[in-house]
Amino acid sequence: MATVLLAPRQADWALGAELMAAGLAGGLSLLAIGRHGRGPATADKRLTGLFDRRDTSIVVMLLFVACGAVLASGRPAGLYLLLPASLVAFVSGVLSAWNSLLPPPDLL
């Protein structure tokens, strides 16, 4: 998303088409690899289990596609759809990193 947004002097329709392509490619790749969440192992991992699911990532990709469609139709307000997509992706990444860096509670 950042790479697409940083290209200088793009028309709204071009930016919209690029965001739709990125969202479709990301969503289809998630469906193709069949990434399934492992589910929370303990009560402390409920939040991580919520964000470590394929459905959550597909929603982020669908927001990219929706943003691109609104931009391609000539309405720059579509960029507002990137805010929730970015927040969910950021929280998911931080929780996944946190979960992978800490050992399971039974090993402590």
Alpha-carbon distance of 94 to 92, in angstroms, equals 6
pLDDT of residue 25: 92
Calculate the alpha carbon distances from 25 to 39, 54, 58, 65, 100 in Å: 25, 14, 11, 10, 26
pLDDT of residue 53: 65
Q: Is 6 exposed, middle or buried (0-12, 13-18, 19+ CB in 10 A)?
A: exposed
Per residue in 1-27, pLDDT (tens digit) is 888 889 889 899 999 999 999 999 988
Alpha-carbon distance of 81 to 32, in angstroms, equals 25
Place of tokens 């759809």: 81
82-101 vs 54-72: helix axis angle to the nearest 10? 150
Residues of the chain with pLDDT under 50: 39-40, 43
pLDDT of residue 16: 92
pLDDT of residue 44: 52
Q: Letter for the amino acid at 104?
A: P
pLDDT of residue 94: 82
| DSSP 8-class letter at 78 | G
